[in-house]
Structure formats: structure tokens, C-alpha cells
Amino acid sequence: KKINLPLIYNLLEDKPEQRLPVKDQALTYINMTPLQRENQNKITSLAKNSTEGKLDMGNLFRALAYSLDNALSPYLLSGQPEDYKEFVENSPKIAYVMECIASVKHYHNKRGESISGQVIYMNRGKQYFPLIKEYLEEELGFKRGVSFAKSKVDEVEIISSDINDTRKETVKEDF
């Protein structure tokens, strides 16, 4: 998979977004794991079979959803990781995000600055959010139970439909 982030935003000046010149753009290619490749071959076969003869839109859309799941993590399709480390290490996109967060944390720590806030948005795999949180805490050193003006929160918090509105507001206010 290819990740290309060519847009920049100038928030200090009221200017519209601009494209970075091609020479300044960074392309990142994220390779599938062997398990993801095996899954993707099966998904591709399902998609091809859905278009041979009578079009089977149900299986075609199913193949699309499976492909998106597989691209994020093979565990969204089948199996269970032993722990948070296995989940991240076998999910290349998630591992890449963890590396990016580690580099931002290192950058700020080296300069003695507060770490800038970051948001990871995932519209699938909600059951694995706690493993990502655990990875960030155990491997990257984000803290639990940090005191803020009104409450205690972790430096990594999960906002999902599983938490109530009061907790969402607490997290929002403290971040």
C-alpha cells in the first residue's frame, strides 16, 4: 500500500491549503505480511468469482470490506493475536502509525517540549483499540493516570461509542 501526504495547511496565516512540490513529497510504501498476501489472494478470487456470469453484488461488496479489513490488520479477518505486540507487528499499517508517533514523541522529548496531540482514526477493528493503547503505553512510554486540572486521564485515551458522554467530555477537555 502507498501512503502519500501531499497537502500542507498554513494555520498561522489564513491561506488555503497548498500542495507540496513533488520533490518535497514523501511516499511511503507499506508491504503486506505473508498472511495478508494470502488473505488478499482469497479476497481477489472472491471478487473475480462475483463478476463472472451473473454479477453478485453482495459478494463483491463483501470482498471490498474484507480487503479493507485485511489492509488494516489480518486479525480483522481471522485469528487472535497473542498480545498487543503481536497485533501491531503483524499489522503493517498500524506498525507504521506507531513508528510515526514514536518519532514525534522522540522529537519533542529531545527538545524538552510537551508532546503534540495526535489522533488515530480507525473506522474498523474497534475490538483491537485497547491493544493499540497498550502498545503505546508499554512500548512508547505514554503514561496512565495523569492528573489534569479536574481529573485523571491516560495520555492515550480511546474515544468510541463504548464510553458515555461525560467521559468523552472529560477526555476532550483534558486534551
Instruction: Write down the residue that cell numbers 483491537 correspond to.
Output: 128
**Residues 95-111: pLDDT tens digits?**
999 999 999 999 999 99
Which distant-in-sequence residues (6+ apart) come within 8 Å of 117 by Cβ?
A: 175
Please tell me the predicted confidence (pLDDT) of residue 14: 62
- Nearest CA among 174, 101, 103, 164 for reference residue 132: 101
Query: pLDDT (tens digit, 9 = 90+) per residue, 5-23?
Result: 444 445 555 666 677 788 8
Residue 67 near residue 45 (C-beta atoms within 8 A)? no
Close Cβ partners of 126 (under 8 Å, ≥ 6 residues apart): 160, 162
- Say if residue 95 is exposed, middle or buried (CB neighbours under 10 Å; 0-12, 13-18, 19+): middle
